Amino acid sequence: MVKGIGSASALAAFSPSAVLREIERSYEASQDAFIKLANSRLEGEDFWQAVRTAYSASPGIINLNNGGVAPQPRVVQEAVEYYGRMCNEAPSYYMWRILDQGREPLRDKLARVAGCSPEEIAIDRNSSEALETVIFGVRLRPGDEVVLTKQDYPNMINAWKQRAHRDGISLKWVDLQLPSDNAEALAAAYFEKFSPRTKIVHITHVINWNGQVLPVQQIAAEAHKRGIEVLVDGAHSFAHLLFDIPSLGVDYFGTSLHKWMSAPFGSGMLYVKKEKIRQLYPLLAAPDPEADDIRKFENLGTRSFPIEQAISHAVDFFDHIGAKRKFDRLLELQRYWSTKVVEHPAIRLVHPTADGFCGALGNVAIQGKTPEEVSSKLFDLAKIHTVAISWENIHGVRITPNVYTTKTELDKLVATLIRIAGE
């Protein structure tokens, strides 16, 4: 039985009045359903069908764009609503005197999943905020060089461009040839841009456009040999791939918890290696910007305590499924649909397929049709929600299932892709 998700009785201890009773009953129903799932002995597709019932998946749309932002299981949705009702009874009391006390237990829980010390984890709102804390906080001088790629996420590219415009640093661009299952070639593309003036390398762990997994450990090891710091965009790797952050050998790591952790929208996490904290300036001013306390990166002012505290319930849900079982399922779903279309003469996979280079995120292109045309037809013909990708040298439709996705839905995807390819 899952212990950490927080019982209804524990929530009731917070309950200030009858105003919360209705939402408390709703939370209890979600909690009971989750516990039944946790205690079940279901296996195979029966287990994953039970997982699906823990989500409020749309009956009218097949959502295969979970890469943008993932839905929350019901138990997380109910927790957000419960804490929100609580805060609205007496905001300054319940926010600052009650729920604010939950940040340290949450920090411990996230650190356990990340495999690091709680003193290296800051809780924020998304990957962009986490990564821009580093981009604008790391100490660079005019002429210093930063290595990054044209396939990185636009928010991060724009942040580095602003830093270059403001401070006179130089950006060295890697143009990755994707998809690839050649770790040496991928790493070498970064190494070729390293120079004595390189101070930091920005690596996207999983390229959001097509699901390419990059050899972070290999790149980081060589960077550190040359005295180069390593910043990793883990928006699509945390709670998805199997790893712990210290094993990557990086200095900084940012992620969004509302992606693969299925935490509330607008939740994220920053990892800073302990010995790097003092020299990294916070994005928002702290009493002591050179403190070695990870909490200096959490000076957000008023924040959404319901969102923050409900992260804990998402972690418990993740724990029940299990990191390995979740990754294995996500990889299985990606390969389930992609292997059924790969031999079609008009269909091309734009994502890698080799072990170690891929996960849930896939990307598919159809000869003679633009990504936008394919994505629109998928929705018009079968109400399959996807996203068209046209970024640098990556062109296709991103297909991103999640743990609640069924193989029946993917069969419909396959049939519709083949239909579109035949038109």
Contact between 203 and 189 under an 8 Å Cβ cutoff? The reply is: no
Residues 249 and 177 in one domain: yes
Residues 343 and 372 in one domain: yes
Give me the DSSP letters along 225-244: HTT-EEEEE-TTTTTTSS--
Give the residue numbers spanning the domain of 47. Answer: 8-101+314-321
Q: What percent of the chain has pLDDT over 90?
A: 85
CA of residue 265 relative to chain centroid, distance: 11
Residues 272 and 233 in one domain: yes
Residues 83 and 143 in one domain: no
Residue 30: the pLDDT is 62
pLDDT tens for each residue of 135-154:
999 999 999 999 999 999 99
21, pLDDT greater than 70: no
Sign, CA torsion 20/26/29/33: negative
pLDDT tens for each residue of 22-49:
555 655 666 666 666 666 677 889 999 9
Q: How much is the mean pLDDT over the chain?
A: 92
The answer to whether residue 309 is domain-embedded is no
Residues 123 and 259 in one domain: yes
Rounded distance, CA 320 to CA 3, Å?
A: 10
CATH code, domain carrying 396: 3.90.1150.10
Lowest-confidence segment of 92-96, 113-117, 279-283, 337-341 by average pLDDT: 92-96
Give the global pTM.
0.92
In the chain, the number of structural domains is 3
Residues 134 and 196 in one domain: yes
Residue 26: the pLDDT is 58
Residues 281 and 149 in one domain: yes
Which neighbouring-strand residues pair with 213? 206
Residues 111 and 234 in one domain: yes
Looking at per-residue confidence, does 238 or 41 come out higher? 238
Residues 143 and 124 in one domain: yes
Both tokens of 156, joined, read: 């991060």
Residues 169 and 261 in one domain: yes
Looking at 274, 304, 334, the residue that finishes a domain is 304
19, pLDDT greater than 70: no
Residues 134 and 274 in one domain: yes
pLDDT, average across residues 193-204: 98
Residues 216 and 341 in one domain: no
Residue with tokens 């280079």: 357
Residue 50 sits at φ, ψ, to 5 deg, of: -65, -40
Rounded distance, CA 386 to CA 391, Å?
A: 16
Q: What percent of the chain has pLDDT over 70?
A: 91
Looking at 304, 335, 356, the residue that finishes a domain is 304
